[in-house]
Amino acid sequence: MAKFTPGPAVAEVRGSVGGTTFTRNRYGAIMRFRAKPVVSQSAAAVEARARMTRMTQAWGGQSEATKLAWNQWADANPIIGSLGFQQALTGHAAFCGVNNRLEMMGQAIISAPPITPAPNPLSTMTVAPDGTLNTCDVTYTATPTGAADILWITACQTNSGGKYWVENLLRGNIFSGVAEASPFDAYAAIAARIGDLTVGAYLHIKVFVASQTTGLLSAPLRARAIIV
């Protein structure tokens, strides 16, 4: 499934053409293969679905005043979608997104929406993966992260040096400790999520600063390097 932006000559497309089906939701136009979707049964996917169920049940237990507060917060804090456009989430989606991240970081979920902004992003960031020494130093400024902040990393490895668009390949839940000082050796956390690093392949990472208090993420920085 992929988002797309219709051009000026075609404002909207619905239905199927060949093996492609076109539709849309509140976040924009979508095209997908006309095929029965495959449901992943990996441990990470199963846990993600269970976590979303828990968050939806928690949302259902909130008061109407609390739900209204989340709707207002979501309208005031739009996200940037994969195509670069601002999108306002529903209050339910905002609640689930924030609390999903808090639970993944081992923190208690929150009922009221955050009242403080997201952490500041990193100013600079580089990565040096070594598949022989089993190290992967992520070097960054400012350092260390805040007293309640961690590095939130997504990563993947590819065989092609010409491949730069890897958003669909990145895998997450790779965390540093709080108040982590640079450099952070992320090898063990990355290998646990995507497997051992292969010498000669390319490692791509996207790094946010995440608050363990609010569940909010900074804007990300991206880096890639050949694995030596």
Q: Is 191 helix (H, G, I), strand (E, B) or coil?
A: helix
Could you read off the pLDDT of 59-92 as tens digits, one per residue? 999 999 999 999 999 999 998 766 666 788 999 9
pTM above 0.85, yes or no: no
Q: Based on the fold, state whether residues 52 and 25 are members of the same structural domain.
A: no
Q: What are phi and psi of 155, to 5 degrees?
A: -150, 160
What is the Cα–Cα distance from 158 to 104, expressed in whole angstroms?
Answer: 26
Q: Based on the fold, state whether residues 64 and 99 are members of the same structural domain.
A: yes
Reply yes or no: is the peptide bond before residue 183 cis, omega within 30 of 0.
yes
Domain count, the chain: 3
Q: What are phi and psi of 32, to 5 degrees?
A: -150, 160
What is the model's pLDDT at position 3?
Answer: 52
Q: Based on the fold, state whether residues 134 and 218 are members of the same structural domain.
A: yes
Q: Based on the fold, state whether residues 136 and 173 are members of the same structural domain.
A: yes
Q: Which domain holds residue 12?
A: 2-33
Whether 50 maps to a domain, the answer reads yes
Q: Is the pLDDT confidence value at 22 over 70?
A: no
What is the model's pLDDT at position 107?
Answer: 96
Q: Based on the fold, state whether residues 132 and 208 are members of the same structural domain.
A: yes
What is the model's pLDDT at position 18?
Answer: 58
Whether 135 maps to a domain, the answer reads yes
